[in-house]
Amino acid sequence: MTEHHQPLPDLPPPITSTGVIGWMRQHLFSSPLNIFLTLLSLYVLSIIVPNIINWAFIDANWTGTDRTVCDANPNGACWTFINVRLNQILFGLYYGQHADQIWRPITAFIILAGLVGLLLLPRLRFKAWLGAGVLLLYPFVAFALIHGEWLGLPVANSSQWGGLMLTFILASVGIVAALPLGILLALGRRSEMPLVRAFSVTYIEFWRGTPLITVLFMASVMLPLFFPSGVEFDKVMRAVIGITLFQSAYTAEAIRGGLQAIPRGQYEAADALGLGYWKKTIFIILPQALKISIPGIVNSFIELFKDTSLVSIIGLLDLLNMAQTASRSIEWKGYDVEAYIFAAMLFWIFCYGISRYSQHLEKTLHRGH
């Protein structure tokens, strides 16, 4: 063993190259061109930002029940419109018109939030069983509440669903139903059986090569062709089927990436212990592969969440389209900027929240190594 040479610790960097001042020097004022661009940007911002703040907050209209307030003060944003049409934008046409029924989607959402919160508790016992129960039973609870009929509640036909609620339903049913399909496809793509592999590859590449808007269009035009005429096929159901088939291909690719990252030694150790293909896959390979796939799956979920707006092609009104529709009603014509801003804000809150949660999940799942 040679003796180790012990380097002296580095001197601390000069104060002007660290901290806020250092950062600004390095990134904003490093050359004459940069200085010019920085000053120009500051100037532009100083003109725009106060205007936005004035419009959105200081001069904005918040009160009232119709457009008279807003029309009297056209310099400010008309949040009155959002306020009055909130139920419609969040829950769709039926609940927009039946304010006394609004407790139904809200209850469904609170139950979901409660269950998810429960599942997020660390060290909860029987978590897997609870999770499976939620996955299997909750959709029926939510359907009974939101659709009605079963519990003697007035029927809210699915063609009347819309807004944030519809976006949420389409995206979450899509991702949950696509996950098991995606897992099977990813495993199939790596299978040693040529037929299984060929099927998986063809399926995945077919859906990945087709834009969602085409898928939705085909789901609305073509699905009914496969069923006897006269069978009225629910529009939301069509969208969910199309989205699930589409999404499963992306989920499969995300999971395949995870599978490829598992070292060969893991397979060999499982083989040597006598675990068969399915036990090896379920207990050893998938738990590790899914963990690695989380960022990819979440990314495609966020994309899906935003892409649900495309269901307008089959006549469904998701958050964006519902906001737009509300702003085009006779009562509120002309206030579409507010509608778009509000929809964008909700999209952002959800997508940002999901993204943060996935980062958190990756951290908590990270074990040693």
Partner 1 sequence: MNTKSAPLTDTYRHAPVGHHENDLEKRLMIDIRDVHKWYGEFHALKAVNLQVHKGERIVICGPSGSGKSTLIRCINRLEEHQRGDIIVDGTELTNDIKHIDQVRREVGMVFQHFNLFPHLTVLENCTLAPIWVRNTPRAEAEETARRYLERVDILEQAEKYPGQLSGGQQQRVAIARSLCMNPRIMLFDEPTSALDPEMIKEVLDVMVELAEEGMTMVVVTHEMGFARTVADSVIFMDQGEIVEYAAPEEFFENPKNERTREFLGQIL
Residues forming the site for partner 1 (CB under 8 A): 263, 265-266, 268-276, 279, 283-284, 287-288, 291, 367-369
Closest CB to partner 1 among residues 225, 272: 272
How far, in Å, are 54, 176, 197, 287, 323 from residue 173 at the CA level?
Answer: 40, 5, 27, 22, 22
CB of 41 to partner 1, least distance (A): 46
CA-CA-CA-CA torsion for 82, 87, 91, 97, nearest 10 degrees?
Answer: -130
Closest CB to partner 1 among residues 12, 274: 274
CA distance 234 to 317: 14
CA distance 241 to 313: 15
CB of 273 to partner 1, least distance (A): 4
Which of 146, 44, 171 lies closest to 91 in space, CA to CA? 146
CA-CA-CA-CA torsion for 141, 145, 147, 149, nearest 10 degrees?
Answer: 100
CB-based contacts of 243: which residues, under 8 Å, 6+ apart? 170, 171, 173, 174, 178, 212, 215, 216, 304, 308
Strand-pair partners of 163: 318
Closest CB to partner 1 among residues 58, 273: 273
CB of 358 to partner 1, least distance (A): 18
CB of 362 to partner 1, least distance (A): 13
CA distance 346 to 335: 17
Closest CB to partner 1 among residues 284, 304: 284
Closest CB to partner 1 among residues 142, 292: 292
CB of 294 to partner 1, least distance (A): 13
Contact 280, 270 (CB under 8 A): yes
CA distance 288 to 284: 7
Which of 362, 347, 239 lies closest to 298 in space, CA to CA? 362
Closest CB to partner 1 among residues 205, 271: 271
CB of 131 to partner 1, least distance (A): 17
CB of 284 to partner 1, least distance (A): 6
Closest CB to partner 1 among residues 117, 263: 263
Contact 145, 95 (CB under 8 A): no
CB of 348 to partner 1, least distance (A): 33
Closest CB to partner 1 among residues 267, 340: 267
CB-based contacts of 78: which residues, under 8 Å, 6+ apart? 60, 61, 67, 69, 70, 332, 335, 338
